Structure 1
Amino acid sequence: MEGAAEVRGGGARAGGPARRRPPQRLPLPGAAAGAAWGRLVIDLLISGGTVVDGTGADGVRADVLVAGGTVVAVGPPGPAEAARTIDATGKVVCPGFVDLHTHSDLTLLSAPQGRSAVHQGITTTVVGNCGLGVAPLAPGADVAGVRAAVSYLDLDPSIEWAWRTYGEYLDAVAAARPSLNVAGLVGHLPLHAGVVGFDDRLPTAAQLDAMTSLLSDALSAGAAGLSTGLMYAPLTFARRDELDALARVVADHDAVFAWHLRDYADDVLPAVREALEVAAATGVRTQLSHLTVVGRRNWGNAAKALELVDAARADGLDVAIDMYPYLAGNAPLSQRLPAWAQAGGESVMRSRLTDPEAVTRIREHWAGQPLGWDEITVNSAPGAPEVVGRRITELAAERGADADTVALELLARLGNAVSMVAGGRDAGDLRAVLSHPATVIGSDGQALDLDGPTGEGSPHPRAYGSYPRLLSDHVADGTLTLPEAIRKATSGAARRAGITDRGTITAGQAADIVVLDVGRLADRATFADPRRYPDGVDAVIVNGEPTITEGRHTGARAGQVLRARNNSKGQSS
């Protein structure tokens, strides 16, 4: 169901407006409070819990009243009557988590209940990250080539790509009736690949105009911003003129530009500087995605990266960070290849990997890399289940081959569809990033279902447990307080996406709410056994509809597509 969404730039209305009743703000003094409670006609009462409202404030014991999909009152217990009551005594009541960084672009079309996301308390997901979007598709675009390039997202081959424009893609998501709200970024990859192609070449002036026009149309159709992924071909070939031109369009629409940086290892600091230089040149609101540092020899560089961010913010730039609470990432294995080896598209890349001269050059590139094959595990390999869950070095030892050979054979056989879990990270760097004032939370995961195509393979556990892990492990170890962790996962993330009508539990906000039993709260997903729901997420409410109750999915699909109203400055909305 599509519905209302207040988004930076004026407040989007997707489809018909939701039926919301005027909010009544409580508490009121003395007897007036009781009278006000008694006059309310409400759909849902969440009673007796400690409300941590998402602003960063400490929790207070209060009841939450919901009507018409909206929070209508928050205050001391009163005599209100409701069609349904959830007893939250002894539990924490907080806003639903706004997952700023996800790759659920296609999985929600295959499995719209999005169980792995909703079970951990996510009520809003932002898709289209790392440049790996699925729309818009330019006239004449090589759609099959784009689909192959973003196969990391493409877990269900039966999903038909019937859209061309970004608005048509959002229509397809709305028609799927997801269980959680969906906002989206425009992926740089379909823009660039659809107009320029997959080779290592700069866009012509006409091609750059075509890309900026497609981007502007997509932002006007409701996209919340743009993402790039400069480690993914053909975006590896994008240079400053292209990035500046796209950033100006995003800035003109008062939207956000999210960056999967060009490098997170030896060249992480130059990569951060590149993003900040574009922000300074264009004034675009900038998000540094999953800021991390890879390789033991680079540990400690997170602090230096954060100093660069602090300096940019001190200069008045609107720059922030997102991160997930794990010491390993997940990406296509092809990300390990040098840029030249990926030129031409997936089929050309796979053919190139059988050329002895090219193989020699790739081996030379891999020599001395900061991340070893012993830190990389195959977690998805369609058609090759025997390699899933195995380290590259284990497979090499089993076959009597070297690790480079195994990786090359997998890439030649499966292309971009083979993905990895990669470690090589430092706990101190992670804590520094999570605790930084400019950091909000994004899982970098996908909404998956235990049954069907999206439940296959061995996904990164962040798809099932990011938020319980954050609120248990990283609160228990002192990295964050519970109110601040919740703020980073709710209002902080929502505001970065320009979403203003959810992210807090206050009167007038959309009723996206989670009830947590903090004493039991735990991420049960592991790298060895990732497909496990967390403990302690007792209830999840999406737009006023109970979607998880007593830890079980109700089957409700009350999510809305949140279309930003971010028309170009100077144009009427």
Structure 2
Amino acid sequence: MPHLFDTLIRCVLLLDGSGAAARMADVGVRDGRIARIAWLDEDAPLDPGSAAHVVEGHGLALAPGFIDVHTHDDTNVVREPAMTPKLSQGVTTVIVGNCGISAAPVTLAGDPPDPMNLLGHADAFRYPDFRSYVAAVNAAQPSVNVAALVGHTALRSNHMDRFDRAASADEITAMRAQLQEALDAGALGLSTGLAYANAFSAPTEEVLALAAPLADAGGLYATHLRSEFAEILEAMDEAFRIGRHARVPVVISHLKCAGVANWGRSGEVLDALEHAQRWQQVGCDCYPYAASSSTLDLKQVTGDFDILVTWSEPEPAMGGRLLADIANEWGVDLHTAARRLQPAGAVYHGMEEADVDRILRHPATVIGSDGLPNDPLPHPRLWGAFPRVLGHYARDRELFPLAVAVNKMTGLSAERFGLAERGFVREGYWADLVLFDPATIRDAATFTEPVAPAEGIAAVWVNGELSWQQRAPTGLRAGRFIPRAPAARA
């Protein structure tokens, strides 16, 4: 006689992703979906004999699989489908195409321009249209699900001969056609990275024109603001204007107060966000660290805080050293040293912990790692962002309750980005699940030893398949491309 369930997870502290208090439950999984939830304070336990595989969850918490809303895993989900940095910390879905850079649709004439080089070298960009990228993800069958934005800088690189100017009307028309094709194939929306040199010369009007197809498709607008430094309020106003004009939700990527002169401004930044929420849908994501990471950008070079060089093409031996020490050794100033190192990557210790706390705690904030998987010395957020929220911030520092932390990493994220039947433990929803120990979960990755799986993750299921257990992959890869849901977002 066939079993009622493929998997039964028994006697767990269930955090369903809604932010509601945890309750003891049994959860039965069948055909990749959550088939039954028995709440043990009101229902009888599910029969262990009804399942082909039984997991005892005594003392452990079960939550929806974490959704990493801000990643640069675009090419890695195909080239490195095991996706160990994400799967090992309980992430079951990644959203790619952030900060204006995406793997598709892209046609390169040479090397990828900065910052598209964060996604890999030229041979990693194999997707001239969005449908070919979707097909490649599904063929690779990564260990995590993948949803994708389309990058403004990627579109610019397809149609413009240089980046230090505004796009022409014909170029905008061509970019908009590619965006429409991607939306038709299930893209979530448009992302921009207006702070980067290759998009900084794009006026607001260029983005307004490009964003025209988003509303009819039910898409959204996500943006790495034109400035996260002194002009952050003006940059936020620009983002809100684009959202209002396009009639779509706005997501501010990795919201922060960058630079020493900006420390302490998170209150007014969040006030501006709340003011905009009166008139339009606005949210943000944040990673749980007071240091950022990207390419080595001359505009961010300063002596006010430590800058760690993570890689350098012309000076590879300098990876892992502070920019100030390199400049001192070479007998030059910081900017001269930075120019000599470029193209390069860096970690910038340029935020204040109190600002990070305030932004993380805000009800509009969801969690994204912003990890850089191709960096040889990655920021520890690549391996540790989600356990850090649960361990360091929720349990140890009590910044918010555990149920709220889980909501910021699951249900709220799924609603904001339009991921249907994901982000919650509900009957009929896809069985993306993570089993963890609330007492021991923690991030093990550090700035000096950044490649380290988290502690306290007992098991991870992706679309019902046990994919991670006892600090190791099972070898089962059950991820797939997730198209944008047609329903309206919360």
TM-score (normalizing by structure 2): 0.94
1:90 aligns with 2:59: yes
RMSD: 2.0
**Cα distance in 2, alignment partners of residues 243 and 96 from structure 1:** 33
1:408 aligns with 2:339: yes
Aligned to 1:396, the other structure's residue is in SS state helix
Give, in angstroms, the shift of residue 313 of structure 1. 0.8
Amino acid at match of 1:490: T
Q: Out of 510, 521, 546, which is 2:466 matched to?
A: 546
Give, in angstroms, the shift of residue 57 of structure 1. 0.5
Amino acid at match of 1:69: G
**Cα distance in 1, alignment partners of residues 191 and 61 from structure 2:** 34
1:125 aligns with 2:94: yes
Give, in angstroms, the shift of residue 267 of structure 1. 1.1
- Cα 1:213/1:86, change in 2 over 3 Å: same
1:79 aligns with 2:43: no
Asked if the contact 2:305–2:350 (Cα under 8 Å) also holds between the matched residues in 1, the reply is no
Asked if the contact 2:147–2:188 (Cα under 8 Å) also holds between the matched residues in 1, the reply is yes
The within-5 A match list for 1:41-52 is 41-52=4-15
Task: Report the count of equivalent residues.
Answer: 481
2:407 aligned residue = 487
- Cα 1:42/1:187, change in 2 over 3 Å: same
**Cα distance in 2, alignment partners of residues 252 and 192 from structure 1:** 22
Give, in angstroms, the shift of residue 40 of structure 1. 6.6
Give, in angstroms, the shift of residue 252 of structure 1. 2.3
Aligned to 2:181, the other structure's residue is in SS state helix
Q: Out of 16, 19, 39, which is 1:56 matched to?
A: 19
Asked if the contact 2:75–2:125 (Cα under 8 Å) also holds between the matched residues in 1, the reply is no
2:118 aligned residue = 152
**Unaligned regions of 5+ residues in structure 1, if any?**
1-37, 338-365, 449-453, 569-573
1:426 aligned residue = 352
Asked if the contact 1:102–1:128 (Cα under 8 Å) also holds between the matched residues in 2, the reply is yes
Aligned to 2:73, the other structure's residue is in SS state coil
Give, in angstroms, the shift of residue 230 of structure 1. 0.5
The within-5 A match list for 1:287-326 is 287-315=251-279, 317-326=280-289
Q: Out of 244, 263, 271, which is 1:280 matched to?
A: 244
1:529 aligned residue = 449
**Cα distance in 1, alignment partners of residues 470 and 140 from structure 2:** 25
- Cα 1:536/1:565, change in 2 over 3 Å: closer
Amino acid at match of 2:365: T
**Cα distance in 2, alignment partners of residues 87 and 385 from structure 1:** 48
Aligned to 2:341, the other structure's residue is in SS state helix
Aligned to 2:444, the other structure's residue is in SS state coil
Give, in angstroms, the shift of residue 566 of structure 1. 4.9
1:378 aligns with 2:309: yes
% identity of equivalent residues: 35
1:332 aligned residue = 295
1:202 aligned residue = 166
**Unaligned regions of 5+ residues in structure 2, if any?**
none
**Cα distance in 2, alignment partners of residues 122 and 383 from structure 1:** 35
Aligned to 1:291, the other structure's residue is in SS state coil
Higher radius of gyration, 1 or 2:
1
Higher RCO structure, 1 or 2 (CA under 8 Å, sep 6+): 1
**Cα distance in 2, alignment partners of residues 312 and 403 from structure 1:** 39
Aligned to 2:155, the other structure's residue is in SS state helix
Give, in angstroms, the shift of residue 441 of structure 1. 0.8
Give, in angstroms, the shift of residue 147 of structure 1. 5.6
Q: Which moved more, 1:115-124 or 1:197-206?
A: 197-206
Q: Which moved more, 1:67-76 or 1:203-212?
A: 203-212
**Cα distance in 2, alignment partners of residues 521 and 149 from structure 1:** 33
Asked if the contact 1:435–1:480 (Cα under 8 Å) also holds between the matched residues in 2, the reply is yes
Q: Out of 182, 198, 221, which is 2:185 matched to?
A: 221
**Cα distance in 1, alignment partners of residues 487 and 65 from structure 2:** 28
Asked if the contact 1:374–1:393 (Cα under 8 Å) also holds between the matched residues in 2, the reply is no
1:359 aligned residue = none
**Cα distance in 2, alignment partners of residues 147 and 270 from structure 1:** 27
**Cα distance in 1, alignment partners of residues 114 and 223 from structure 2:** 21
1:189 aligned residue = 153
Aligned to 1:520, the other structure's residue is in SS state coil
Aligned to 2:261, the other structure's residue is in SS state helix
Asked if the contact 2:64–2:434 (Cα under 8 Å) also holds between the matched residues in 1, the reply is yes
**Cα distance in 2, alignment partners of residues 566 and 189 from structure 1:** 26
Amino acid at match of 1:426: E
